[in-house]
Chain A
Amino acid sequence: MHGDGLQRYTPQLVGAAAVFAFVAFWEAAAAYKLADPIFISSPSRIASVAAEMWEDPDFWRDIKVSATEFIWGYLAAIAVGIPLGLAVGWYKQLQYALGPFIDVLNAVPRVTFMPILVLWFGIGIWSKFAVVFLGAVIPIILSTYSGVRTNEARFLRVAKSFSASQMKTFTSIILPGTAPYIFTGLKYASGRALLGVVVGELYAATAGVGHMIAQAGNAFETDRVFFGVLLFTFTGLVVTTILAHMEKRFDRWRPEGAVR
């Protein structure tokens, strides 16, 4: 292991230094006109645009729209995906019947359906909700399914030897064993959900952060574009960190350093 004191934080320190260097270089490049700030913006300009938009009610409306699309789509995907994944994993016939459809949906980038979804649901919030849902539900179904199938036969044998009922076997053996897989699926799905928001709003929308980015791009308001992208980066990092923390709570029983 690393030494004591500051040495323990070497990765973070070097990383922070690298980011700092990058930001400084960027600022300098804009200040000394190495490239036209209209194309590359600069950290300071992004910061001032951020301050500006903080006061702008339209900005908050955009945030609310994107957040609604993301949260509701993601939650719906969880509510549908986990039970469906469990069912498909548990009932062989269901897996045979639905398997091909799920595999095909997995092979298609869900954003392919964007035009059809807009055709059906219009350019309002519902088409975005649909593409977020579609994007997130498939990885959740697949990893939940994977978790159920991977349940070790020896644990199922324990349940059988104690005459556990089907329900008891399910809740005491299958579910806890599937939990790590479900979390992996949730993490992957959150990225897909966020992607759905962006694609949906770039393609056809009247509000939202992605829509804001598209409009700013058309008007060559580079600072806003960068700000918008950073907002998505920030959201992505926050969501994965939250999920990682929740996962740790469920992970107490695993030996240290188990790779998943």
Chain B
Amino acid sequence: MTPKLVAKDVCLEYRQPRTGDRLLALDRINLSVDEGEFVSIVGPSGCGKTTFLSVVDGLLPATSGEIIVDGMSVNKPGPDRAVVFQDASLLPWRTVLTNVCYGLECIGVRASEAQDRAMKFVKMVGLEGFENSYPYELSGGMQQRVNLARALVMDPKVLLMDEPFAALDAQTREYMQEELLRIWEQANKTVLFITHQIDEAIFLSDRVIVFSARPGRVREHVKVDIERPRSLNLKRDPRFHTLEDRIWSLIHDDAFV
């Protein structure tokens, strides 16, 4: 079975505008994600995780290498991929419902149809009743759910998530992790998830990819062989701790050498 998403020898080089120096941010990244898989990327700060996600989404052009989705090479944003950023970035002048419709509008879907489709996802993320609220009336967690609905309604082949819960407080964050799994199981999507939190990565994923420090390279793939559906108690399970230790030591070696 061909994987849903493949990164082939992806390199990214930065050119500092002031000094003209060249900085290597990503060094020959090779990885793949199968259909329906939930894969996380973790790594020390500044290792290029977010940069990589931007390249996959087409917001940043790779210096060399390819991103292939469903067998087709891509280098620009497209309806086959949708991003959930850390900052919900909901358009403040639109209601929840019209915010979710935004991506559909951009590809030319008619307003009435867009609203019908959007409403389904507003319900799926558990915000029924809030469809006419404005972003300023919602909590951080709720805004992220709208952000998620906005991405899901596009029916993307791959869902990209860039530390979506980083700005939330600890309790909301845990709650959202559970919610995300529930929604993911319902929506049945392929997910590439970036995070700083090792426990979050293990809890959510089928597989965790560990990046090295800059320049970012794939250091190791860690399979999470824990059955689903998963609940938060899992974080107290000894298997969980073993995985955490393993990933932590991988990152630690890199970050503090």
Asked if A158 and B136 sit within 8 Å, CB to CB, the answer is no
Could you give, for residues 162-173 of chain A, a 1 whenever the CB lies within 8 Å of some chain B CB and a 0 otherwise? Answer: 111100100011
**Known contacts A253-B136, A255-B136: does B106 contact A162 (CB below 8 Å)?**
yes
A2 contacts B by Cβ under 8 Å: no
B91 contacts A by Cβ under 8 Å: yes
Asked if A253 and B59 sit within 8 Å, CB to CB, the answer is no
A155 contacts B by Cβ under 8 Å: yes
A64 surroundings in chain B (CB, below 8 A):
none
A92 surroundings in chain B (CB, below 8 A):
none
Asked if B93 and A160 sit within 8 Å, CB to CB, the answer is no
Of residues 155 to 209 in A, which have CB atoms within 8 Å of B's CB atoms? 155, 157-165, 168, 172-173, 176-177, 179
Q: How far is the CA of A177 from the CA of B92 in the complex (A)?
A: 9
- Give B198 Cβ to nearest chain A Cβ, in Å: 27
**Chain B interface residue count, Cβ-Cβ cutoff 8 angstroms:** 24
**Known contacts A161-B59, A172-B102: does B93 contact A253 (CB below 8 Å)?**
yes
A252 contacts B by Cβ under 8 Å: yes
Asked if A163 and B59 sit within 8 Å, CB to CB, the answer is no
- Give A151 Cβ to nearest chain B Cβ, in Å: 11
> In the complex, which range does the number of interface residues on chain A fall in?
20 to 34
Query: Which residue, A158, A168, A252, A254, has most C-beta atoms of chain B within 10 A?
Result: A158
Interface of chain B: mostly helix, strand, loop or mixed: loop
A154 contacts B by Cβ under 8 Å: yes
A177 surroundings in chain B (CB, below 8 A):
93
- Give A70 Cβ to nearest chain B Cβ, in Å: 31
Q: How far is the CA of A254 from the CA of B237 in the complex (A)?
A: 46
B103 contacts A by Cβ under 8 Å: yes
A-B Cβ contacts below 8 A, count? 56
Stretch at the interface among B10-18, B77-85, B167-175, B183-191: B77-85
Asked if A163 and B79 sit within 8 Å, CB to CB, the answer is yes
Q: Which residue of B lies closest to A175 (CB)?
A: B93
B136 surroundings in chain A (CB, below 8 A):
253-255
Q: How far is the CA of A162 from the CA of B102 in the complex (A)?
A: 8
B89 contacts A by Cβ under 8 Å: yes
Q: Which of A161, A165, A176 has a CB less than 8 Å from the CB of B91? A: A176
B135 surroundings in chain A (CB, below 8 A):
253
Asked if A172 and B134 sit within 8 Å, CB to CB, the answer is no
Of residues 59 to 104 in B, which have CB atoms within 8 Å of A's CB atoms? 59, 76-79, 82-83, 85, 87, 89, 91-94, 102-103
Asked if A176 and B103 sit within 8 Å, CB to CB, the answer is no
- Which residues of B line the A interface, CB within 8 A? 57, 59, 76-79, 82-83, 85, 87, 89, 91-94, 102-103, 105-107, 134-136, 154
Give the 10 A-B residue pairs with the shortest CB-CB distance, closest first.
A162-B103, A255-B136, A162-B106, A164-B106, A176-B93, A154-B89, A253-B93, A253-B134, A163-B77, A158-B89
